[in-house]
Chain A
Amino acid sequence: MIWEPCTSPTEPPNTEHRLMDWGFHMTAVFGKTTGAADALPILPSLRVRVVSNRILCHVTRVYTALTDFVCVESFLSVGMKRFHTFRSFQVHGRLAVHSLTRCACLKHARLVPRGPCGASAHVHGNRPATRPRRLGPGASNSNAAATSQQEAISSDTIAALVTAPCGGAVAVVRISGPQALEYATHIFEPAGTNKEEEWTPESHRVYFGRAVHPTSRILLDECLLFAMKAPRSYTREDVVEIQTHGSETGVVAARVLDALFELGARRAEPGEFTLRAYVNGRIDLMQAESIGMLVSAQTAEAADVALGALVDERSSSDSSAGSSFAADMTRARDACLDALASLEASTDFAEDDIPDLLSDEEVLSMIKRDVHEPIARALETRRAGELLRAGARVALCGRVNAGKSSLLNALSESDAAIVADVPGTTRDVVSAVSSLGGVPVTFLDTAGLRSDSQGVADGAQVDDIERQGMQRSARAAATCDAVLFVVDSDAGFGAEDDVAWRALVGGGGIVASSTSDSSNGDSKMRLAVPTILVYNKIDVAAPSNRHPDEASFDRVVEVSATTGKGLDDLREGVRAVLSPKATNVGWAVSERQAEALIRARVAADAFLSDAHAGVPIDVLVPHVRDAASALLEITGVRRRARARLGHHGSAEEELVEEELEEAVLSRLFSTYCVGK
């Protein structure tokens, strides 16, 4: 199969020129994997390969942000000339098919069967030699172009149940696409109208009526219909939402949906409405990601953060200046492009010919103020954002019978773990989820750590099951975000605790085999993850015989799992060690954004340090370019509806689509009057 990218919103489709102008091309190959095609096993897979680095980012981000499949083989990156990066990744198995259909609406690419399709090569044919020709492949007929474009963008209409599949009082079916309104008229009869009458819903008005089967006219449900005509809708396409009665099995909504499918609608893929919103310029990449975050937010705070990034840059910059990530990053990108335009203008055109150039100091302070600092700020939110999104895992470790299970139950306010005085009661890892200041924390109760010989004395032999359990606990401790090392304050930090501690620090997966070397030597042992020393059972006795080196723990807390005393301190402690830089900016960057941000920061750092060292500023241009291209990856393309609706978007909007070099030149020529 070949991806043939269609055309930009304002251009007539399917000319060779547009293809080049877009600078991207996608190919999907079934039955082949990358690399030596003959060497690897043949798997059904999809390769998406895109010329422009930026476009690629969009593709991959949209994939990973809005859909649920996994990139099995992630980016194979081959650096190319300048800012072109060729990358490819693969999605194996049946997901490939899904990805293909998703690609179909992405970037207006069309799926066409493999075959000769380079036929349109000679667009400059023999022509009257004296007739003036336009320079570029301009839109000769913008109306016609817009119409045909409309079809090309979303040739199909999608529908899906957008509420929970079963249960609930109301179920909402959403239809999006060019035929949405038409389908609605087929299956919906508004109350109080004559059946013979032609009816089309007005935009943004709620109708009450009956959903009927389109052909048999069997009543399906009484429902509400709400139409949002393009572009004033979530996807910027015509959208119709039908509210039916909910039911335990979701059968009512399902019948409405089936009726729509009979009419020709296609079931929307997961995330496809948002994908269309992105493709149609309704939201940008960051917002798309934010929606992903919002939808999957587990706590209210996570939802707030997601919304913070989602808020449109314009509205947010009015209310709370500089608080929106989108606004910050857009400003940083623009600052880089402005700096580049000025620097390039001053080198490519004699300096005294161009008025209004930025001075070197202005460039410096602009990079510092608008690029370096916002990036640093954004990166600080990264950890918090990750915690909010993915939550944290905290393992309770310690010797047997230290009260870990009761502590787990206390922390999670549940009775997830079995509590008994018998050492080694907990044999597998038990988890319970709790929210700590908005961070969803999974506490893991682990099997107590003890040596094989230890059990003999207590009369409870370590059996195979328990040994395996202990191995699991060590593994859990090694992979979690924080560790609570629990000590029985009645017994104090004894030899057994030390064995357990050593087993943990010793690298996980080890069960200490001997008690002989108890407390000598290296007391400076630490875990790689934040660790809290918890003295449990303070209701029985105050901690005696404390750990010899409490300073090697991030915190020391005394609690009673039984009475609940000190539990709040413990919660606060966990929260504090998980996000040392608590931020209240209201948004957080994702890992993908962070990766690009780090590249931008490295470039900005290099720029500033070199500039302070007195390096001539033209030598520093490559740093600014690096920063700009990294930031372009984050902000992606924002195509406003204006361009799509056939209005001529401003030059700038169209130019964002182009590669960095062209973007810089365009800015240069639009900012500076280079007349000479």
Chain B
Amino acid sequence: MSMSMSTSVCGGGGRINPSSSSSSSSLISRSYRRARGPCHAHSHARHSTSRCRLSASSPSSVWAGSWDEDEYYDVVVVGAGHAGCEAALAAARMGRKTLLLTLTLDKIAWQPCNPAVGGPAKSQLVHEIDALGGEMGRMADRTYLQRRVLNRSRGPAVWALRAQTDKRMYSDVMRTILERTDNLFLREGMVTDIVTDENETLTGVTTHYGVTFRCAAAVVTTGTFGNGIVWVGRKQVSAGRAGESAVSGLTECLQRYGFETGRLKTGTPSRVDRRTVDVSRLEEQRGDEGLPKGFSFDPDFDPDEFRTTPELRSQLSCYVTRTTAATADLVNSNLDETPTYGGWCDAKGPRYCPSIEDKFVRFPHRESHQVFLEPEGYHMPELYVQGFSTGLPERLQVAMLRTLPGLENCVMMRPAYAVEYDYVPCQGQVTPTLMTSKVRGLFLAGQINGTTGYEEAAGQGLLAGINASLYIDVGENRIADVAASSDSGEGDVDAGALVSRARSRDSLLVLPRSSSYLGVLIDDLCTKDLREPYRMLTSRSEYRMSLRQDNADARLSAVGHAVGLLSDRRYEAFEKKRATVAAERKRLSGIRIFADRQVALAEEVETVTKQRVPSSTKGGGLTLEELVRRPGVTYELIEKHGFGADESLSAMEKTSVEVEVKYEGFIKRESKSRRKVAGNEGMSIPKDFDYLSVDTLSMESRHKLESIRPLTLAQASRIGGVSPADINALMVRLLQEKRNQQRDETNRAKKETTPV
């Protein structure tokens, strides 16, 4: 995919026609419309066709000259947080000339809350991002200062890697990566408006200072900045993050385009100075040493590239302390100082992140709550006080911190605060491609869509970046129907179809729920009514057995490769791994074990599983695969007895073999129960389907479906308020249309074959 224009663009920034610098968006779009013809001279085939059509109807080209001097980008990404960075990297790597606009270049990929990546469900997301060719997995591997595998005592389906990262290093390294990337341009700017043509197709974005960047697609990832308000106690200040100005104007702009917006609230706890904390009295939480791999599946990737000193290669510890009776007293006697219990703020925070006052109120019987102290960086004294977020005023925060053992003399460096911000409920407004349904070419990703968490944001950003890039190639009229067919069914992923479509680059990418947590996340966003910021949880997926971190590469590498994000080298590495694993599984199923022949192995297996291994006199014994399938038998165990592979397998490959063998049966069961789902629900709905004419639908559902325009029947069924009856009626209509179509085709075929 070669772009006709790829570099040298920064020339004429800011030189715009005075008339177009007006803040009126209608004026801008009008004048732009007139100018449409010439300004696309260097653009794409699709654009030129539409341009020809349109320029024929617009006689004047008075303004053309001035607009030509504007900068043109294929993709503009608004915001350089975790969503924005992934989006920009994906677009640039897919060959798009990409502009990344951010309020400040000093806070790129900033981790304003807990500097950690991964954890249950989120680790799976990061692995998926890596398999698709995103950056977050490698970023965490490059900058972690501690990492652990969580849920070891559970099955591998829910094993989760969590990395504490060095906050500054993360930001610095990401900036370096961005700067190293071809086609990618960084610039400071506050986007407050979007520009569209008369078809509500995006043609550019405008910054607060009045610069318009023309573009084919824009990804808006403004996080908590939309009219953000930071609260500490009763005090509030307009800010997107502490100390950074909020953005007003963009939300209002979206509202002008008919978007509904809402408010969400989240928060972050206080930070204390590590040098004032007596960690010697606290329980230490060390990282896991010698983990076989990090988040990235890339075997040739060097995670230590940026770890220039030996110190940066060691792991730091976290510490655990507990609240005391004094903490409880302090909280309970000052409840009226908190926003929730004081009654001046009725927006509740997310349930999975209760404030310390919530904990004391809701769990009064519990004497003490755990509090974790987590380092924010190798060279920063700040400790993140995990589990201690609060709405109390700052003076009380210090007092409260000092009731914790080890923190008696602590110095607070940053107060805890809550932030309240605008978001765009995705239901009916954003399609599963992350393109908005109202403005073509406008993509939304990250917290603006109502999620929370860096991983959730990065995943969306990646998909939005991919789709913004694909959008430029895909014929407009094909977007909806092709995307629909890629969500073919609730059943297992039709990986082949997904990949071949991705490779042909003639459709936008939609990840089915069965493909990934990212697919679940986006589907939930688009079809459910959110009540609180959406956090990924493993329980949200009905495919938990098959959506594991260890097989994210098997699930998504082909897709990443097909869209052009995963290099040939990495894809080959993946294929090699897959082949190795398959060969090893074949080998395991070919070797039979008998209690009387392989005595040592059989005995150990019997002690571990408390089940007998048959001897050679009784039947065919057990294959190695059958042994590994037994709970408690690891690959290591059979390796110990000399039954490992001839060529040594990498740790990653061993895990894959073991997990695949063990989970095969469960996955079959899972997919069997999924298959109960009626086959027709995967039926795609033509993008121009006329819901209003289906008189068997309730009027309300007609309007709802008309506005949301689901891609498949399954998606339609998940829309709140659309009744099963309506789905039934819709299905009948779709079947009828299909039948009619087939009949028409046969008739036509008959006609053609009939001699005239």
Interface residues in chain A, defined as those with a beta carbon under 8 Å from any beta carbon in chain B: 2, 4, 16-17, 19-21, 23-27, 29, 32, 34-37, 47, 49-51, 78-82, 84, 86-88, 114-118, 121-126, 129-130, 132-136, 138, 344, 346-351, 353, 355-356, 613-619, 621-622, 661, 664-666, 669-670, 673-676
- Would B155 and A661 count as touching, CB distance under 8 A? no
Would you list which residues of chain B between 314 and 362 have a CB under 8 Å from chain A? 345-348, 351-354, 356, 359, 362
CA distance A30 to B656 in the complex (A): 57
Q: Does B112 contact A (CB under 8 A)?
A: no
The CA of A36 and the CA of B728, in the complex, are separated in Å by: 10
Contact-residue bracket for chain B: 35 or more
Asked whether B387 lies within 8 Å of A115 as measured between CB atoms, the reply is no
15 contacts between A and B (CB under 8 A): A25-B698, A79-B676, A123-B260, A124-B425, A135-B532, A350-B162, A351-B151, A618-B544, A619-B666, A622-B673, A661-B540, A665-B539, A669-B354, A676-B370, A676-B387
The contact of A347 among B363, B387, B539, by CB within 8 Å, is: B539
B386 proximity list for chain A (CB < 8 A): 675-676
Closest chain A residue to B255 by CB distance? A126
- The residues of B that contact A670 with a CB separation of less than 8 Å are 362
* Given known A-B contacts A49-B724, A347-B120, A136 and B369 have beta carbons under 8 A apart: no
The residue from B156, B369, B736 contacting A673, defined by CB atoms under 8 A apart:
B369
The answer, yes or no, to whether B263 is at the interface (CB within 8 Å) is: yes
Residues of B within 8 A of A84 (CB): 717
Q: Using a CB–CB distance below 8 Å, which chain B residues touch chain A?
A: 119-121, 150-151, 153-158, 160, 162, 227, 229, 238, 248, 251-252, 255, 260-265, 345-348, 351-354, 356, 359, 362-363, 366, 369-372, 386-388, 420, 422, 425, 490, 529, 531-532, 537-540, 542, 544-545, 609, 630-632, 663, 666, 669-670, 673, 676-678, 681, 696, 698-704, 707, 714, 717-718, 720-729, 732, 736
Least CB distance, A141 to chain B, in whole angstroms: 13
Contact between chains at A27 and B723 (CB < 8 Å): yes
Which B residue's beta carbon lies closest to that of A119?
B703
Q: Give the chain B neighbours of A125 by CB distance below 8 A.
A: 260
| A676-B372 in contact (CB<8A) | yes
With A and B bound together, what is the CA distance between A664 and B371 in angstroms? 25
User: Chain B contacts of A117 at CB under 8 A?
Assistant: 699-700
CB distance from B732 to the nearest CB of A (A): 6
Q: In the complex, which residues of chain B have a beta carbon less than 8 angstroms from the beta carbon of A134?
A: 346-347
User: Among the listed A35, A118, A122, A622, which residue makes an inter-chain contact with B704, where contact means beta carbons less than 8 Å apart?
Assistant: A118
Contact partner, A350, options B120, B155, B229, B531, Cβ 8 Å? B120
Interface centre among B366, B677, B700, B722 (most CB of A within 10 A): B700
Q: Which residues of B contact A344 (CB under 8 A)?
A: 537-539
Find out whether the CB atom of A136 lies under 8 angstroms from the CB atom of B531.
yes
| Identity of the chain B residue whose Cβ is nearest the Cβ of A120 in the assembled complex | B700
- Which of B263, B356, B696 is close to A37, meaning CB atoms less than 8 Å apart? B696
- Is A615's CB under 8 angstroms from B631's CB? yes
Query: Are A616 and B154 within 8 A (Cβ)?
Result: yes
| Residues in B whose Cβ lies below 8 Å from that of A2 | 698-700
Measured between alpha carbons, how far is A642 from B111 in the docked complex, in Å?
45
Task: Provide the bound-state CA to CA distance between A350 and B162, in Å.
Answer: 9
Q: Of A616, A666, A676, which one neighbours B155 at CB under 8 angstroms?
A: A616
B229, A132: Cβ atoms closer than 8 Å: yes
Give every chain B residue within 8 A of A621 (Cβ-Cβ): 544
Q: Give Cα A25 to B121, complex, Å.
A: 32
The answer to whether A132 touches B352 (Cβ under 8 A) is no
B699 and A81 within 8 A (CB): no
Distance from B255 Cβ to chain A, minimum over Cβ atoms (Å)? 5
Q: In the bound complex, how far is the Cα of B539 from the Cα of A534, in angstroms?
A: 61
Contacts of A27 in B (CB 8 A): 698, 723, 725-726
**Residue in contact with B538 in the complex, picked from A115, A348, A616, CB distance below 8 Å:** A348
Query: What is the bound-complex CA distance between A49 and B717, given in angstroms?
Result: 13
In the complex, are the beta carbons of B696 and A29 less than 8 A apart?
yes
B537 touches A348 (CB 8 A): yes
Residues on the B chain within 8 Å of A115, using CB: 699
Closest to B155 in A: A616
- Which residue of B is nearest A77, CB measured? B678
Q: Are A49 and B723 in contact (CB under 8 A)?
A: yes
Are B681 and A80 in contact, with the CB atoms below 8 A?
A: yes
User: Given A121-B703, A353-B370, A674-B352, are A619 and B155 also a contact pair (CB < 8 Å)?
Assistant: yes
- Nearest CB of B to A79, in Å: 5
**In the complex, residue of chain B having the shortest beta-carbon distance to the beta carbon of A126:** B255
Smallest CB separation, A613 vs chain B (Å): 7
By the criterion CB–CB under 8 Å, are B666 and A348 in contact? no
Q: In whole angstroms, what is the CA distance A488 to B370 when docked?
A: 84
Q: Are B531 and A135 in contact (CB under 8 A)?
A: yes
The 9 closest A-B pairs by CB, nearest first: A86-B724, A616-B155, A20-B720, A49-B725, A614-B631, A675-B387, A118-B703, A124-B260, A25-B723
Other A-B contacts than A118-B700, A353-B370, A622-B670, 9 sampled, CB-CB below 8 A, are A2-B698, A21-B720, A27-B723, A49-B724, A80-B717, A124-B425, A674-B352, A674-B354, A675-B356
Residue of A nearest to B428 (CB): A121
- Give Cα distance in the complex from A16 to B262, angstroms: 14
A122–B714 CA distance with the chains assembled, in angstroms: 24
Name the residue among A79, A125, A616, A675 with the largest chain B CB count within 10 angstroms: A675
Q: Which of A16, A350, A665 has the most CB of B within 10 A?
A: A350
Across-interface contacts of A346 in B (CB, < 8 A): 151, 154
Instruction: Find out whether the CB atom of B678 lies under 8 angstroms from the CB atom of A79.
Output: yes
Query: Which residues of A are found within 8 Å of B263, using beta-carbon distances?
Result: 132-133, 135
Residues of A within 8 A of B359 (CB): 673, 675
Q: Shortest beta-carbon distance, B360 to chain A, in Å? A: 10
**What A residues does B352 contact at CB under 8 A?**
349, 669, 674
Give the most central of B157, B162, B632: most A CB within 10 Å: B157
Contacts of B162 in A (CB 8 A): 350
The answer to whether B539 and A614 touch across the interface, beta carbons within 8 angstroms, is no
* Chain B contacts for A669, CB-based, 8 A: 351-352, 354
Query: Which chain A residues lie closer than 8 Å to B630 at the CB level?
Result: 614
Known interface pairs A78-B678, A88-B724, A129-B251; A135-B347 also in contact (CB < 8 Å): yes
Interface contact A130-B362, CB-CB below 8 Å:
no
Given A20-B721, A81-B677, A619-B666, are A118 and B699 also a contact pair (CB < 8 Å)? yes
Whole-angstrom distance between the Cβ of A117 and the nearest chain B Cβ: 5
How far is A607 from B356 in the complex, measured between Cα atoms in Å? 37
CB-nearest residue of chain B to A355: B370
CA A122 to CA B704, docked complex, whole Å? 11
Residues B229 and A130 in contact, CB atoms below 8 Å apart: yes
CB distance from A119 to the nearest CB of B (A): 8
Asked if residues B723 and A81 are in contact (CB atoms below 8 Å), the reply is no
A664 to B248, CA, bound (A): 38
How far apart sit A138 and B369, CA to CA, in the bound complex (Å)? Answer: 30
- Whether A124 and B677, one on each chain, are in contact in the complex, defined by CB atoms closer than 8 angstroms, is no
> Is the Cβ of A116 less than 8 Å from the Cβ of B227?
no
Q: CA A676 – CA B154 in complex, angstroms?
A: 19
Known: A37-B732, A669-B351, A675-B369. A81 touches B725 (CB 8 A): no
* Chain A CB within 10 A, most for which of B252, B425, B537: B537
Q: Determine the chain B residues whose CB is within 8 A of the CB of A79 once the complex forms.
A: 676-678
Residues of B within 8 A of A88 (CB): 724-725, 728
The smallest C-beta distance from A651 to any residue of chain B, in angstroms, reads 9
The answer for the CA separation of A136 and B264 in the assembled complex, in Å, is 10
Tell me the bound Cα distance from A32 to B727 in angstroms. Answer: 15
- B160 — which chain A residues lie within 8 A by C-beta? 350
Residues of B within 8 A of A132 (CB): 229, 263, 345, 347, 420
Residues of chain B within 8 A of A619, CB atoms compared? 155, 157, 545, 663, 666
Residues of A within 8 A of B260 (CB): 122-125
Once the chains are docked, how many angstroms separate the CA of A50 from the CA of B676? 19
Nearest-CB distance from A655 to chain B (Å)? 11
Select from chain A the residue with minimum beta-carbon distance to B723: A25
Contacts of B363 in A (CB 8 A): 673
Residue of B nearest to A606 (CB): B669
Q: Given that A20-B529, A23-B720 are contacting pairs, would A135 and B348 also be in contact in the complex, using a CB cutoff of 8 Å?
A: yes
Residues of B within 8 A of A116 (CB): 699, 703
Q: Are A19 and B720 in contact (CB under 8 A)?
A: yes
